[in-house]
Amino acid sequence: MSLLLAEMTWPEVERAIAAGITTVILPLGATEQHGPHLPLGTDTVRAAFLAGQLGADRSDVLVAPALPLGCSDEHTGFPGLLSLDHETLARLITDCGQRMAAWGIRCLVLLSAHGGNARALERARTRLQEQVSALEVRVLASSTALNEELSEIAATDGIAPDDVGLHAGEGETSEMLHLRPDLVHMDRAVAGYTGSMADVIPRLREAGLRAVTDTGTLGDPRLACATRGRRYLAAQIEGYGQLLAIGTATPVREAVP
């Protein structure tokens, strides 16, 4: 069972710290369009789940509530967007890290399910390490090895990488079918941009998703399936769990959604 900070009392937290539980995982999501078939809170649902499962697999971490707002300006032009400047998110994380250090936390693990948060995470990590020497800050972000593993799962099932997609495609839709099928509208799912994801990244960075896809989808969500979503999520939990165990932080890279 995870030690969920928002569901604990302060004496329980005090006892956890006294027992040597001094690591907090802070999940970071976003509120941004995810095509006509997935909810705006998709990344927050995924972040909270991944952090909760990592916490459940180990008894030595506390799990903070997921932050539902991230840096999502690449989704400008789609209704429903709630986005922060990189500096705002960096300051928010820095503020929380300082407070955590004051009540005994010694390691803050940032787990983001939204690629656009990467720059803010890096800024917060650098700042906290300068300001709060007692606090180690680690960033769990997707790595090449993890991406290869996810591609392998897709390939085994005959799903092409460009259909898995970078945003609201087969990948995220499969995960949401496993996590919150009640919020997935498969009858509204349509193929989005399904050309080369590698080729489209510079355009996305420059002009945002609206310039590339009318529906907001990159990939083909119609191919999604809940069982594969469970396997994608299990691979991420396994990969992040290993990083946590060996104490290696993934180098942060700029990613798209």
The site for Zn ion (CB under 5 A) is made up of 42-43
* Pairing, β 107-112 against β 23-28: parallel
Minimum distance from residue 25 beta carbon to Zn ion (Å): 19
| Residue closest to Zn ion when measured from CB atoms | 43
Distance separating alpha carbons of residues 7 and 239, to the nearest angstrom = 27
* Beta carbon nearer to Zn ion, 24 or 47: 47
* Beta carbon nearer to Zn ion, 43 or 122: 43
* Beta carbon nearer to Zn ion, 46 or 138: 46
Minimum distance from residue 146 beta carbon to Zn ion (Å): 16
User: E strands, the chain, where?
Assistant: 3-4, 23-28, 61-63, 107-112, 136-140
**Residue 30 corresponds to which amino acid?**
A
Minimum distance from residue 217 beta carbon to Zn ion (Å): 11
**Residue 104 corresponds to which amino acid?**
G
* Beta carbon nearer to Zn ion, 13 or 191: 191
Minimum distance from residue 209 beta carbon to Zn ion (Å): 11
* Pairing, β 61-63 against β 136-140: unpaired
Cβ neighbors of 191 (< 8 A, separation 6 or more) are 217, 219, 220, 221, 222
